[in-house]
Structure 1
Amino acid sequence: MREPARSLQPLQAPVLLPTSASSADCPGRALLNWTGRIAFSSATLDSGDVLVFAKGVNHVAGGVQCLYRYCGETHAVVASFPAITSVQQVTRCPAPPIHLNSRNTEFRVTVAATGEDPIPTLVTYRPRQSESGSLVAPEKNLICACTMIHNVSKFLREWVLYHAAIGVDHFILYDNGSKDDLADQVAQLRSAGIKISTVPWPWIKMQEAGFSHCAATHQSSCRWMAFIDVDEFVFSPNWERSEKPSKSMLEEIVQVDPDVGQVYLWCFDFGPSGQTSHPQEGVIQGYTCRLKRFLRHKSLVLLAAVDHSLENAIHHFTLKAGFKSIRSMQARVNHYKYQAWTEFKHKFKRRVSAYVADWRDPINLESADRAPGLGVDGVEPVDWAQRYCDIKDNLLQKLSSRWFGNGLGSPGSQDT
């Protein structure tokens, strides 16, 4: 349940409703125990495999079974198979037998650790319908960008227009329960000619599963995927003398040997840079002071090289045998991490990763994910606006000003 609803309303058992008239065999029913293990989503891939996304089934010793049953029948399992892979919150299952698929009926699908009861499920499986019409496969985008968002619409325009200008063809936004004007922002970007999609992903602390879903379901439409946040901007100092952006800029970064499946980009973390509120001209223009050393990386991932398990650590994916990861020597990520306190304080509400403690929890206090020296109270330090400032770095600020004028964050900024 979305965070505002959890904090303001008493919790009630949700009711699972059919998504269409054809779903009548799967009637709505109250889910009484939904705080523990649960299968919450699925995706049928072009290969026929079925991905089941489930909370509470990860790295189970002894294996995992995939179970299909007719809707409305709690115990009548019609097919059971060993999982192909089961890592983190993602289980890859074989599809039901063809003779069951041919009935054009719906099934519940869930998973179970071998020898244990199946976990409760919200997931309905329907056979993938063959597409009729054109025999020509749609053109595959060279570079797409995937991110998970929660109430960050004010930052979206700058991030999208910048990356579209340097080579991102399609943006995929996994919406983690946003309550701001996301729909309006997306509509404006589409009207400017940007290819952008949103995927509802309301489940709390399921970022890794969301990125697995993104990697698996876009292999037919995207060759490379940039997994970066909306406060992260890919940049190369080699572009410093470019008079205007070019869609070939990111393409040059992924011009690599055939056995390279992932390109790491070092992240440089920028501080508040004296700002006490969100800079109206955008983060690129507003934040120009950063820490000297880098702590993390983000990645451009060749989707065809991603391991069948879809295992990831948000910053990178496990790759199939025969592929390797390399570090880019020409590009980096400007991470506008420590912003003005009015914005940064929202990070104390919750973190989206399944394996990262919320900042109010007094555990893993030395984690690189935390703000050094900040503690767990979420109280603004007196010197916050001057923190995390080792080096003045305005390379991207000057370049963006040359390319886009008054800043991509302002209403009158240039569209691509």
Structure 2
Amino acid sequence: MKGPKGVGRKRRSSPRDVVSWSTLFWCTVFVVINCALFSGFSFYAFRFLIGKTFQPVLMLTWPAPSNKPISPITISVREVVMFPEQALVFLNNYPRTAHVFTKDDLHCVYFSANDSSRSQPRFNQPPIDIDGGDFHNQIVRCPRPPRSLTVSVGLKHNEDVPAVPSYSWDWLAYDALVDRDNTTIVFVKGLNLRRERISNTAKFECVYGWDFRTTRYLLRSDVVSIAQEIVRCKTPRSVLSFPRGPNNTVKVSVRVKGGGAKGILNTIARPAIRPGLANPTHWKEHEMCLCSMVRNQGRFLKEWVMYHAQMGVQRWFLYDNNSDDDTDVVIEWLRRANYNVTRHVWPWLKTQEAGFAHCALRARETCQWVGFIDADEFFHLPSGLMLHDVLRNQSNYDYVGEIRASCYSFGPSGLRRVPVQGVTVGYTCRLAAPERHKSIVRPEALNSTLINVVHHFHLRNGYEPVNVDRGVLVINHYKYQVWEVFKEKFYRRVATYVADWREEQNVGSKDRAPGLGTRAVEPRDWSHRFCEVGDTGLRDRVLQSFVDPQSRLLPWQEEGEGGDRVVQVQQQQKVIKRSVMMMRKIRERRKRKVFL
């Protein structure tokens, strides 16, 4: 018997009951496209409804400043150098701090010399000044601590004061650089070597190291040359390969042989990057540059730079020797006025010769000729030529390494106040005979010892100095200005082998003013002294070339300083005639005394 139909059998599937793979695929594509369209429509609708102020939630992944701890400003002191009247504190700010400190940030902190922990400061004082415009080379000037005390610096809002080594200025290697021949040039104080003489290298050696508290691991090298306060050393290969930078820790010093550990100069000298190419090129970027060491010359620098720019100078290297006026501000003003002037902080006392040698090395790579003059000295070309005319004429002779120009010393010219039109216009009466000379040198011609006596350098074999004719080029040295300016010379002289005027040494030196002694007391006839010859040559050229036709002012004058120039010149001419007559009478009296 058959059961019902289909019972006991598997049902056979119908084609209508199965979905094909192609149908499933196209359905999936349709769903995906519709979802995408719907999402896009929703986004734009949402954007339209709420406007453009919407900020995606994704922006919250940027770390908010309030959620990230701010690194506190810290201070690191490298070392302290003690001068007779102040202490130089050298900061060692690392790039992670990158903070340029001001006098408002710091104070000078004084401790007992035996308190190594710096836990009990005696007292604080504000700094005298802070030098250096970037965080790599800031120098804090503090009043010198009393005996038995030492000094450091600290942040006003932080009680932590770093302990630092302190060195006396009179026994110190204070600067160093690696020259193009890979020798190290070290600038030192305290060896007391003879002026303008090459010393015996066998008596000294150079030492390099990271820690001078012990001599055990110091590297030793031979001295190549030593003269005055400049030592040239052979540089060990390991030092040459060591990375150099703002925080270079490799230091160099000089050891007097036979003196043991005590014969090594204290040092803060870290060899800087070599100043120039190993293979010098004949072509230089600038034909004429100037090097000068200045101190509190801010009010005269505009005239000095602007005048010499017109005469053909293209580059200025100014070594600032502890100025506390607006010298840095004036230099920055000149830079913004497109004068190629750089300020180099040079705090070292009575080191003008070393500073000039240092400057010669810096200028060597970019300057064909470099003049070494002071800020009160002006090149005057009576023939009407320009400096490049003189230099190109001398450059035709390969043996010429130095051009020497005679200096005429000008007196107060009857003035009692600083001339508003500048020194070149104000001072027009001078001594009849020239005093000394100053030089323009070819840096490539300098002797490797770098010996100089400020007025001229020692040259390499094959080079000679030449004296330029006084009708072509002279230097107007405004040496004896009005007393307000001149008395500053009593404070300190910058040359190494020149005694300060307050000392009894070398009273009869040409560096001093005759008859003044050691006290800065103004003589009654000061305004009429040093006036033997009226000389208006440079004044006439300045008034002809520099006066603005509309304002009648010179470019270095401020508004309101003009006055009636014709009346000023007439009055000054009368004073000069009177001064010349007085000087003649004085000479006649002296001759009579000698005759009697």
Q: Corresponding residue for 1:102? A: 241
Give 1:118's aligned amino acid: I
Q: Which moved more, 1:74-83 or 1:274-283?
A: 74-83
Residues 1:29 and 1:324: Cα distance change in structure 2 (over 3 Å): farther
C-alpha distance in 2 between matches for 1:127 and 1:202:
20
Q: Corresponding residue for 2:578? A: none
Cα deviation, 1:139-168, whole Å, max 9, x if unaligned, reads 521111000000011000000011111111
C-alpha distance in 2 between matches for 1:187 and 1:256:
37
Q: Corresponding residue for 2:92? A: 18
C-alpha distance in 2 between matches for 1:183 and 1:73:
37
Contact residue 177 and residue 272 of structure 2 kept, 8 A: no
Name structure 2 gaps, 5 residues minimum. 1-79, 97-135, 137-161, 548-552, 562-596
C-alpha distance in 2 between matches for 1:340 and 1:391:
18
Give 1:394's aligned amino acid: T
Which has more radius of gyration?
Answer: 2
C-alpha distance in 2 between matches for 1:335 and 1:127:
36
Q: Does 1:257 align with 2:397?
A: yes
State the shift of 1:378 in Å: 1.2
Residues 1:253 and 1:149: Cα distance change in structure 2 (over 3 Å): farther
Q: Corresponding residue for 2:446? A: 306
Q: Corresponding residue for 1:51? A: 185
Give 2:251's aligned amino acid: R
C-alpha distance in 1 between matches for 2:340 and 2:493:
28
TM-score by length of 2: 0.62
Q: Corresponding residue for 1:191? A: 336
TM-score by length of 1: 0.87
C-alpha distance in 2 between matches for 1:2 and 1:108:
16
C-alpha distance in 1 between matches for 2:180 and 2:276:
10
Q: Does 1:323 align with 2:469?
A: no
Q: Which has the higher contact order (CA 8 A, sep 6+)?
A: 1
C-alpha distance in 2 between matches for 1:18 and 1:75:
24
Q: Does 1:357 align with 2:499?
A: yes
Residues 1:158 and 1:126: Cα distance change in structure 2 (over 3 Å): closer
Q: Does 1:201 align with 2:343?
A: no
State the shift of 1:375 in Å: 1.7
Give 1:237's aligned amino acid: P
Give 1:173's aligned amino acid: L
Contact residue 65 and residue 112 of structure 1 kept, 8 A: yes
Q: Corresponding residue for 1:226? A: 371
Give 1:122's aligned amino acid: I
C-alpha distance in 2 between matches for 1:393 and 1:81:
55
2:407 to 259, 267, 274: 267
Contact residue 101 and residue 127 of structure 1 kept, 8 A: no
Matched residues, number:
394
State the shift of 1:31 in Å: 3.9
Q: Corresponding residue for 1:114? A: 257
Q: Corresponding residue for 2:232? A: 92
C-alpha distance in 2 between matches for 1:313 and 1:130:
24
Q: Secondary structure at the match of 2:290?
A: strand
State the shift of 1:64 in Å: 2.0
Q: Which moved more, 1:99-108 or 1:285-294?
A: 99-108
C-alpha distance in 2 between matches for 1:225 and 1:130:
16
State the shift of 1:74 in Å: 3.1
State the shift of 1:138 in Å: 9.0
Q: Corresponding residue for 2:545? A: 403
Contact residue 16 and residue 31 of structure 1 kept, 8 A: no
Identity of aligned residues (%): 34
Q: Does 1:66 align with 2:140?
A: no
Cα deviation, 1:198-227, whole Å, max 9, x if unaligned, reads 111011111111001011222111121100
Q: Corresponding residue for 1:147? A: 292
Give 1:144's aligned amino acid: C
State the shift of 1:30 in Å: 3.5
Q: Does 1:343 align with 2:513?
A: no
Residues 1:64 and 1:388: Cα distance change in structure 2 (over 3 Å): same
Name structure 1 gaps, 5 residues minimum. none
C-alpha distance in 2 between matches for 1:376 and 1:32:
33
Say which structure is richer in helix: 2
State the shift of 1:78 in Å: 4.1
State the shift of 1:247 in Å: 6.3
Q: Secondary structure at the match of 2:332?
A: helix
Q: Secondary structure at the match of 2:215?
A: coil
Cα deviation, 1:242-277, whole Å, max 9, x if unaligned, reads 7xxx56345346445110100100000000001111
Contact residue 70 and residue 76 of structure 1 kept, 8 A: no
Give 1:89's aligned amino acid: E
Contact residue 276 and residue 365 of structure 2 kept, 8 A: no
Contact residue 65 and residue 80 of structure 1 kept, 8 A: yes
